[in-house]
Structure 1
Amino acid sequence: MNSKMLKQLMVSILALALIVTAFTPMSKAKAAEDPFSVNAKAAILIEASTGKILYSKNADQRLPIASMAKMMTEYLLLEAIAEGKVKWDQKYTPDDYVYEISQDRSLSNVPLRKDGSYTVKELYQATAIYSANAAAIGLAEVIAGSESKFVEKMNAKAKELGLTNYKFVNATGLENKDLHGQQPKGTGPDEESEVSAKDMALLAQHLIKDHPEILETASIAKTKFREGTDDEMDMPNWNFMLKGLVKEYKGVDGLKTGSTDSAGSSFTGTAKQGDMRVIAVILNAKGNLHTARFDVAKKLFDYAFKNFTMKEMYKKGQQIKGHENIEVDKGKDKEVPVVTKEAFSVPVKNGDEKSYKAKVNIEKKNLEAPIKKGTKVGMLTTSYSGDEKDYGYLNKDQSGVELVTKTGDEKANWFILAMRGVGGFFAGIWGGIVDTVKGWF
């Protein structure tokens, strides 16, 4: 074979290889599974209001979360405040354990005086902004009496909120070996809190929805602890994506960073642009311990805001064609109108709008009076038929909005029911006569 023929053969083989690669279904499937590379052990990206998952990687694997465990501490505190069990101006004096931890400068801390008196709000701000560990333990003692009992509350609340892959062992997220041999009862000296990325996203979603005031504190880039006193100390936020900091990203206003030897560079972040808020969880990002998590978060946030738009499919109180009413047995009215309980919006991939369709699931074909206004009769969800990978939702119960009765209906009295019975009787007779007459002809 001469050189000219050999060159032609090589060109033909190369061209064939390029054609096969371009049209191989596996390459398309792989792209659909992972739209980009995330350099972290696990990650997840969700739209906050719906829980729609926009991206996921190893999201069900339980991993160390470091100081992101303080998000559960913050949730329990804000819940106790809302219920009136704890007051912002309530005073706390450190015990020996909290004092000792607060003096450990190898940990993130605001030094506390052994005979000092601190308000719950001071401890909360130190925890949420500066990730102060002794302050978090102090809050645990205020809420539950001891950190050991508080850990029980943490795990119980996790179960209540729907988390499934979790283990909280202390109020801080520190490795228990860093607690000077005073880890909570029932936990081992080598244990640490572990939660899956998916469950961290669910916790973040609940925290923002149930206690939105968390963002007022979590978004503070820098403040001072005990300003104007001898204990005054700068408290910079470890979330470098906040406005004015080195990794600033438009719309970021929370939530919590975390880093230990085992957890690596981790972050639960949230950002809002326009009418869409997203939550990203990054566990053990590879690279610089203090910045790698933010590089991954930027990639996730960019993907969300550049590729998705919130679309309102139905307004609050709107009827669905073909499901406008539901029958009512023994009611004053024979049927009542059915409407959406809330507006139904979903994050839609730009350019792929036609692939999203509303889906109605009626749980009951009829109701029995009496019924109240707002009685649930079904769910309005969405289905996706496009080529992109559909990651589903954090929680299937969050995948849509309820369909409810627009009005109530009282039970009809005996006279109305009797008249309906009589009417039905004569209607039956009349129908029989009509059928008979039709038969004559």
Structure 2
Amino acid sequence: MTALALATALASALPAGAAFAVPKGDKQPKAPAPPAKMSQVGGERLGLPGVQVGRLKAGAPQLPGPDALTARSWIISDADSGQVLAAKNPHWRLAPASTLKMLFADTVLPKFPKNEKRKVKAADLAGMGIGSSMVGIKENLTYTVHDLWLGVFLRSGNDAVHALSAMNGGTEATVKEMQKRAKELNATDTHVVTPDGYDAPGQVSSAYDLSLFARAGLQNADFREYCSTASAQFPGDEAKHGKRKTFGIQNTNRLLSGDFDIRPYPGIEGVKNGSTTNAGSTFTGLAERNGRKLLVTVMNPQKKEHNEGYREAARLLDWGFAAAGKVEPVGQLVGPQSGDRAAKRGADGKNDAQMGMHGSPDGSGSVLTAVGIGGGALALVGLGAALVLRRRRAGS
């Protein structure tokens, strides 16, 4: 067996997200090229390979170069209007990692009230992939739906996803519902195999579709709360006399919570990050500055440096805020097949009543403006912090 074959065999045994080194002297595998033709949902230029950016008007900055933006696929858009400011291979169907949890949340979150409780069974946690990210849920202990969603968004817990899927009729039923929801959102690049985004044969999405999932999910007030929470306390073991211990958890979205080598991004308001062996680093983020909200998705940076996906997302956001209003759009984030989401999904209207963002065929409405996500997220840095940061709606 050659050294490269041995390294490949070892890599297949590693848990998701693990890295391995190719022995010196062996050539690195050639990076795949994007398809020559991709989906044209949202505009013809979005189906072309390579970087697409509109005509820059006076005062607009140049887009950062390829050394600064190494991701295989990315897209930056105006979250309110849906106009795509620039993109690179946005319809390239790639492994999504835990950013797929945005679709999971958009599908399942409206179904169960926050205070509903679940006593977790062993069967609830069956079927998780080796090396899955987990928040620390244990069988035979009881958790509220609120607890479980904190586990999904902050720690990207596959155990929390599986517990919620069990409440929703099981993993298979949840996957089918997620695929149906993706179709409703015109997310034609997405094929769901697992509800948690864990690497699975045939499981793909795209930077364009992930932006659609984020934009749809952000219509829900609970979704906005969870994705913008930097840290929280999570239920632990049962103590004597019935008192429950808790432990601190911190959001793994480093543009929200920060890290030793990166600061929280000013104005960040969520949304979701991910990382697996097949997907590399993936990230979708929403940020606000001077009343303008931008949505960015980055998939699989080729520069393998720590927190590189967040750095490239931040560069795109910086450019987008400087170029907004000074660059012609290259496409559009489309609306769903049906604008009447509340009726279609049985929502009670409390979280999803304002449908402006997707209420028109071109997605030109603005539910983000209507509900006012703004105000800027406060990132609470430090593993010992216990405060749950909640979003405040404008005017409330």
TM-score band, normalised by shorter chain: 0.5 to 0.7
> What are the equivalent positions in structure 2 for 1:137-152 lying under 5 Å apart?
137-143=162-168, 145-152=169-176
Contact in 1 for aligned 2:81/2:365 (Cα 8 Å): no
> Aligned pair 1:284/2:300, yes or no?
yes
Match of 1:89 in 2: 115
Contact in 1 for aligned 2:135/2:156 (Cα 8 Å): no
Match of 1:195 in 2: 205
Q: How far apart are residue 224 of structure 1 and its match?
A: 2.1
Counterpart of 2:300 in 1: which secondary structure? strand
Match of 1:241 among 255, 268, 291: 255
- Cα gap change, 1:389 to 1:260, in 2 (>3 Å): same
> Aligned pair 1:129/2:175, yes or no?
no
Contact in 2 for aligned 1:265/1:286 (Cα 8 Å): no
* Structure number having the greater helix percentage: 1
- Cα gap change, 1:130 to 1:399, in 2 (>3 Å): closer
> Aligned pair 1:69/2:8, yes or no?
no
Distance 1:75 1:255 in 2: 12
Distance 1:193 1:89 in 2: 32
Q: How far apart are residue 228 of structure 1 and its match?
A: 8.9
Contact in 2 for aligned 1:101/1:134 (Cα 8 Å): no
> What are the equivalent positions in structure 2 for 1:31-430 lying under 5 Å apart?
35-37=63-65, 38-80=69-111, 86-99=112-125, 106-143=131-168, 145-176=169-200, 191=201, 193-208=203-218, 210-226=219-235, 232-242=246-256, 245=259, 246-288=262-304, 290-308=306-324, 348-349=325-326, 390-395=329-334, 397-398=361-362, 400=364
Q: Which amino acid aligns with 2:119?
A: T
Q: How far apart are residue 31 of structure 1 and its match?
A: 9.2
- Cα gap change, 1:244 to 1:264, in 2 (>3 Å): closer
- Cα gap change, 1:30 to 1:303, in 2 (>3 Å): closer
Counterpart of 1:213 in 2: which secondary structure? helix
Q: How far apart are residue 192 of structure 1 and its match?
A: 5.4
Distance 2:86 2:129 in 1: 41
Distance 2:171 2:81 in 1: 34
Q: Which amino acid aligns with 1:213?
A: D
Larger radius of gyration: 1
Contact in 1 for aligned 2:256/2:269 (Cα 8 Å): yes
- Cα gap change, 1:62 to 1:30, in 2 (>3 Å): closer
Moved more, 293-302 or 89-98: 89-98
Contact in 2 for aligned 1:73/1:171 (Cα 8 Å): yes
Counterpart of 2:103 in 1: which secondary structure? helix
- Cα gap change, 1:150 to 1:101, in 2 (>3 Å): closer
Distance 1:111 1:71 in 2: 20
Q: Which amino acid aligns with 2:132?
A: L
Distance 2:224 2:148 in 1: 16
Q: How far apart are residue 220 of structure 1 and its match?
A: 1.7
Contact in 2 for aligned 1:243/1:250 (Cα 8 Å): no
Counterpart of 2:332 in 1: which secondary structure? coil
- Cα gap change, 1:170 to 1:31, in 2 (>3 Å): closer
Q: How far apart are residue 288 of structure 1 and its match?
A: 3.8
Calculate the TM-score normalised by the size of structure 1.
0.58
Contact in 2 for aligned 1:215/1:254 (Cα 8 Å): yes
Q: Which runs of 5+ in 1 are unaligned?
A: 1-28, 81-85, 177-190, 309-347, 350-387, 403-441
Q: How far apart are residue 290 of structure 1 and its match?
A: 4.8
Q: How far apart are residue 113 of structure 1 and its match?
A: 2.4
Q: Which amino acid aligns with 2:323?
A: N
Contact in 1 for aligned 2:125/2:163 (Cα 8 Å): no
Q: How far apart are residue 169 of structure 1 and its match?
A: 0.8
* Structure number having the greater strand percentage: 1
Q: How far apart are residue 227 of structure 1 and its match?
A: 6.5
Q: Which amino acid aligns with 1:253?
A: E
Distance 1:171 1:202 in 2: 17
Q: Which amino acid aligns with 1:392?
A: G
- Over the aligned positions, Cα root-mean-square deviation in angstroms equals 2.7
Q: Which amino acid aligns with 1:274?
A: N
Q: Which runs of 5+ in 2 are unaligned?
A: 1-51, 57-61, 240-244, 336-360, 367-396
Calculate the TM-score normalised by the size of structure 2.
0.64
Contact in 2 for aligned 1:201/1:279 (Cα 8 Å): yes
Q: How far apart are residue 120 of structure 1 and its match?
A: 1.1
Distance 1:217 1:128 in 2: 6
Counterpart of 1:268 in 2: which secondary structure? strand
Distance 1:292 1:126 in 2: 24
Highest relative contact order (Cα 8 Å, sep 6+), 1 or 2?
2
Between the two proteins, what is the percent identity of the paired residues? 26
Match of 2:378 in 1: none
Counterpart of 1:156 in 2: which secondary structure? helix
Match of 2:351 in 1: none
Q: How far apart are residue 277 of structure 1 and its match?
A: 0.6
Cα shift readout 1:209-233 (whole Å, capped 9, x = no counterpart): x214322221222222116955533
Q: How far apart are residue 99 of structure 1 and its match?
A: 3.6
